[in-house]
A and B are shown apart, each in its own frame.
Chain A
Amino acid sequence: MLARTADNLFWVSRYLERADFLARLIEASRRISALPIAYTAARDEWKSVLMASGADETFFDHFDIADEANVTAFLAFDERNPSSIRNCIEFGRANARAVRTALTTEMWEGINSAWLELKKFETAHREAGRIDREDLIGFLEYVKTTSSLYDGSGYRSMLRNDAYYFSRLGVYVERADNTARVLDVKYHVLLPEQETVGGSVDYFQWSAILRSVSALTAYHWVYRESIKPWNVADLLILRPEMPRSLISCYDNIVRFLDALAAQYGRQGASQRHARNIKRRLEGASTGEIFQSGLHEFVDEFVNENNRLGAEITEQYLIG
């Protein structure tokens, strides 16, 4: 297939996955910031949201204070933020439109409807001059639905060939990055020495982390006990049955890269690198990770994941 088509498919998936993640992140943070200060130890919640989304630098070019109104507006609707939800949908749709032929009708109509809906939201807001919380909640719900719709219709309707593999790779490379970023920003509340007996102030932070990657219910099913920070780390890094864990993302990345290699009859740098990362995750344990430093571990992972993205681009998407 055309290298440009593959590139577009890869990025449509990434944009929609990112939009989904941002929606969850905002929702989780709204809950935390609405708690009494005593429960959250007065942490700078909205600033950490900015960091997790990777938008902290651009944000302060335009705003002085990282409060709820500014941060949610910036993350959800701001055209000046290259990774805002509205830009993810806008760019995702532009990429999708450029490669309509590679998408099934259901996928295209899903993302195009999302874009039309976005235009309606924006017109309504321009007229109202503000975004109220109720609208925001509706919008975030809607963004999550869109991602599911695109994802699901791709799964149901795409031919299982390179187009499908590139589309799936986009999802998992982005998802791994998102999960790792949440861990990176919040690592300090997961460290064992932070735990105090009889209900930590961090309890709500832990549940917020789980919510931001839609893992709160899953946690209870897997561990059947109240939230413990090391379990949170275990779930998000090492649990293969958890669809947003780093190891699950790499299970999939390796699978789809192998499928590509099989179709093209050739292995390359990205296959070797992805297998390496996966092997490292398989050999790791939470004990070791905490011992050698959670922060360092996650940091290194983010870098390795980025490198893989660059290798996929180099190997397939430039042509």
Chain B
Amino acid sequence: MTFQKAIEPMTSPCFDEMNGGESVSPSAPRALYDRVARWLENSPPGLLDSRRQQAEMLFRRIGITFAVYGDKEAAERLIPFDIIPRLLGQDEWRRLEAGLIQRVKALNMFLTDVYGAQEIIRAGVVPADLVLRNPAYRPEMQGHRVPHDIWTHIAGIDVIRVDDRDFYALEDNCRTPSGVSYMLENREMMIRLAPDLFADHRVLPVENYPDALLASLRSVAPPHCPGDPNIVVLTPGQFNSAFYEHSFLADKLGVELVEGRDLAVRDDVVYMRTTEGLKRVDVIYRRVDDDFLDPLAFRPDSVLGAAGLMGAYLAGNVTLANAVGAGVADDKAVYTYMPEIIRFYLDEEPKLRNVTTWRCREPDALNYVLDHLSELVVKEVNGSGGYGMLVGPHASKEQIEAFRHKLKAAPEGFIAQPTLSLSTCPTSFPGGVAPRHVDLRPFVLSGAGGVRIVPGGLTRVALKEGSLVVNSSQGGGTKDTWILETDAATR
């Protein structure tokens, strides 16, 4: 699976999750990491290496792999797993959790509004063209209500920290965020491979995630759904890079894993082909992008979806999670308006910080950006995966000047942010331990009963020294994330 993400380079020094402050001295770890530090100190040389190899063997045997397209030799690869856990205290988690709940509530309200009355546009808070000309905006959905007004049932909010106080939301993923299987499997791996360290901590469990997900999905069944809703997971198939996760989730949910060819639509009702004939489907947890859902409504060449699915969806006979068109809430341009969006719908101050962002479409902001190009990261609004990006501190004079021209020619296509010093966490390598940059993706579930988050998430780690790219296709790895029952300052 590929985690698309490029994070701006750090300006050293930075906050280390274990050693705190700017210190890299292992003699003074934060209280939170007391036992981890001792464990690292007392581990005989070679132990971490052998555990890493064991983990790799287990991941291969279970088949927790991701496909790399066009790479025949290594058609199935592992995402490197690091055995040193990343810890958060109870108090830190509570703060983060409150911010995530607030943010996801606002995201759902924003989507309801955008596809409904569009009050936020009329109030002049968010410019109309950002929404209506957004490639992820689906005009088919305009005026459509979804059950309980929930659009992003499963949201992955990428957060980072630069000190021991604030969490920053770096990116919202409202479409089909992946990685939750790693959150769950990493925990199993830690219980197996570091039993002593695990027993030394009281870690809040994540294993109830599938139950929580199932409850969310059941709660959004179509209102006229007769009886117990039939829920399925829709996958593009086993050649998709995240197929393992799809089958893993279907298995843990106890529901069928279907492909487009297993579905049939008759009279605006979706069915699946079973050994006993057609059976009605009520809720589809789809891991197929909007574009590929229905060849009649979207890309006609798609074989991943089912013809007529969109008709059944608009008729209210089936629920899709996440909803069609939810992507309009998670692009970089809308991201910059998240603080205003939160204030507009909830009348509250945002609890998670947004990374300061200059919108180059605004003249004052543009002037500031042009004056500070060598300090800033400038991104294309519709770009992803680090393309079309200027990293000021790392760029040559010529690159900066070339970018200046691009920026002046079409300022509305760009945003700029300061370079952030992402926190680091001790990470094991063959022969040693060194700090590496990390981020965190918690998975936020929304259902009729409200917003729910299992305590934890996927910690991604940039394995190359100095690298801030946690992208799995570029040497990014993962860690287990432990939320402790005690506060961060408790020893």
Residues of A within 8 A of B (CB): 1-6, 94, 97-101, 105, 108-109, 112-113, 116, 162, 166, 260, 264, 266, 316-319
Q: Is the CB of A2 within 8 A of B274?
A: yes
Q: Which of B41-91 contact A (CB under 8 A)?
A: 60-63
A292 to B172, CA, bound (A): 76
A80 to B247, CA, bound (A): 30
CB < 8 Å neighbour of A319 from B63, B257, B259, B275:
B275
Q: Is the CB of A4 within 8 A of B61?
A: no
Q: Is the CB of B63 within 8 A of A2?
A: no
Interface status of B401 (Cβ within 8 A of chain A): no
Assuming the A-B contacts A2-B262, A4-B259, are A317 and B275 also in contact, with contact meaning beta carbons closer than 8 angstroms in the complex? yes
Q: Which of B227-269 contact A (CB under 8 A)?
A: 237-238, 243, 247-248, 250-251, 256-259, 261-262
Q: Is the CB of B247 within 8 A of A101?
A: yes
Q: Which of A3, A101, A317 has the most CB of B within 10 A?
A: A101
List the A side residues contacting B256 at CB < 8 Å.
Answer: 1-2, 5, 101
A4 to B264, CA, bound (A): 13
List the B side residues contacting A3 at CB < 8 Å.
Answer: 262, 273-275
Assuming the A-B contacts A2-B272, A4-B262, A94-B238, are A101 and B257 also in contact, with contact meaning beta carbons closer than 8 angstroms in the complex? yes
CB < 8 Å neighbour of B251 from A1, A98, A100:
A100
List the B side residues contacting A264 at CB < 8 Å.
Answer: 275-276
A-B contact pairs, 28 of them (CB 8 A): A1-B274, A1-B275, A2-B256, A2-B262, A2-B274, A2-B275, A3-B274, A4-B259, A4-B261, A4-B273, A6-B275, A97-B243, A97-B247, A98-B237, A99-B257, A100-B63, A100-B247, A100-B257, A101-B250, A101-B251, A101-B256, A105-B62, A108-B63, A112-B61, A166-B275, A260-B275, A264-B276, A319-B275
A109 to B261, CA, bound (A): 27
Q: Which of A3, A105, A113 has the most CB of B within 10 A?
A: A3
CB < 8 Å neighbour of B62 from A5, A109, A162, A318:
A109
Q: Is the CB of B274 within 8 A of A116?
A: no
Q: How far is the CB of A124 from the nearest CB of chain B, in Å?
A: 16
Q: Considering only CB atoms and an 8 Å cut-off, how many residues of chain B contact the other chain?
A: 24
Interface status of B277 (Cβ within 8 A of chain A): yes
A94 to B273, CA, bound (A): 21
List the A side residues contacting B62 at CB < 8 Å.
Answer: 105, 108-109, 112
List the A side residues contacting B275 at CB < 8 Å.
Answer: 1-3, 6, 162, 166, 260, 264, 316-317, 319
List the B side residues contacting A260 at CB < 8 Å.
Answer: 275
The closest CB in chain A to the CB of B62 belongs to: A109
List the A side residues contacting B273 at CB < 8 Å.
Answer: 2-4, 318-319
The closest CB in chain A to the CB of B276 belongs to: A264
Interface of A is mostly: helix
Residues of B within 8 A of A (CB): 60-63, 237-238, 243, 247-248, 250-251, 256-259, 261-262, 272-278
List the A side residues contacting B248 at CB < 8 Å.
Answer: 100
List the A side residues contacting B61 at CB < 8 Å.
Answer: 109, 112-113, 116
Q: Is the CB of A97 within 8 A of B63?
A: yes
Q: How far is the CB of A186 from the nearest CB of chain B, in Å?
A: 37
Q: How far is the CB of A3 from the nearest CB of chain B, in Å?
A: 5
A116 to B262, CA, bound (A): 29
A100 to B257, CA, bound (A): 9
The closest CB in chain A to the CB of B235 belongs to: A98
Assuming the A-B contacts A109-B62, A116-B61, are A319 and B238 also in contact, with contact meaning beta carbons closer than 8 angstroms in the complex? no
Q: How far is the CB of A319 from the nearest CB of chain B, in Å?
A: 3
Q: Is the CB of B274 within 8 A of A319?
A: yes
The closest CB in chain A to the CB of B261 belongs to: A4
A20 to B65, CA, bound (A): 28
A265 to B250, CA, bound (A): 27
A4 to B238, CA, bound (A): 13
A264 to B279, CA, bound (A): 13
List the A side residues contacting B278 at CB < 8 Å.
Answer: 319
Q: How far is the CB of A215 from the nearest CB of chain B, in Å?
A: 33
A260 to B63, CA, bound (A): 31
Q: How far is the CB of B328 from the nearest CB of chain A, in Å?
A: 32
List the A side residues contacting B251 at CB < 8 Å.
Answer: 100-101
A116 to B56, CA, bound (A): 13
Q: How far is the CB of A13 from the nearest CB of chain B, in Å?
A: 16
Q: Is the CB of B247 within 8 A of A116?
A: no
A113 to B46, CA, bound (A): 26
Q: How far is the CB of B215 from the nearest CB of chain A, in Å?
A: 19
The closest CB in chain A to the CB of B58 belongs to: A109
A6 to B62, CA, bound (A): 22
A318 to B262, CA, bound (A): 10
Q: Is the CB of B258 within 8 A of A116?
A: no
Q: Is the CB of A2 within 8 A of B258?
A: yes
The closest CB in chain B to the CB of A95 belongs to: B238
A6 to B272, CA, bound (A): 13
Q: How far is the CB of B32 from the nearest CB of chain A, in Å?
A: 34
The 4 tightest CB contacts between A and B, nearest first, are A319-B273, A101-B251, A100-B247, A316-B275
Q: Is the CB of B274 within 8 A of A97?
A: no
List the B side residues contacting A94 at CB < 8 Å.
Answer: 238
A112 to B61, CA, bound (A): 6
List the A side residues contacting B60 at CB < 8 Å.
Answer: 116
List the B side residues contacting A99 at CB < 8 Å.
Answer: 257
Q: How far is the CB of B356 from the nearest CB of chain A, in Å?
A: 45
List the A side residues contacting B277 at CB < 8 Å.
Answer: 319
A319 to B274, CA, bound (A): 5
Q: How far is the CB of B270 from the nearest CB of chain A, in Å?
A: 14
Q: How far is the CB of A28 from the nearest CB of chain B, in Å?
A: 32
List the B side residues contacting A105 at CB < 8 Å.
Answer: 62
List the B side residues contacting A98 at CB < 8 Å.
Answer: 237-238
The closest CB in chain A to the CB of B233 belongs to: A101
In addition to A97-B243, A112-B61, A113-B61, 20 A-B residue pairs with Cβ atoms within 8 Å of each other are A1-B275, A2-B258, A2-B272, A2-B273, A2-B274, A3-B273, A3-B275, A4-B259, A6-B275, A94-B238, A98-B238, A100-B248, A101-B256, A108-B62, A109-B62, A264-B275, A316-B275, A317-B275, A318-B273, A319-B274
The closest CB in chain A to the CB of B273 belongs to: A319
List the B side residues contacting A4 at CB < 8 Å.
Answer: 259, 261-262, 273
A316 to B276, CA, bound (A): 7
Q: How far is the CB of B71 from the nearest CB of chain A, in Å?
A: 15
A105 to B251, CA, bound (A): 10
A283 to B60, CA, bound (A): 51
Q: How far is the CB of B259 from the nearest CB of chain A, in Å?
A: 7
A94 to B237, CA, bound (A): 11
List the B side residues contacting A316 at CB < 8 Å.
Answer: 275
A113 to B58, CA, bound (A): 10
A34 to B238, CA, bound (A): 44
Q: Which of B63, B237, B261, B273 has the most CB of A within 10 A?
A: B63
A101 to B249, CA, bound (A): 9
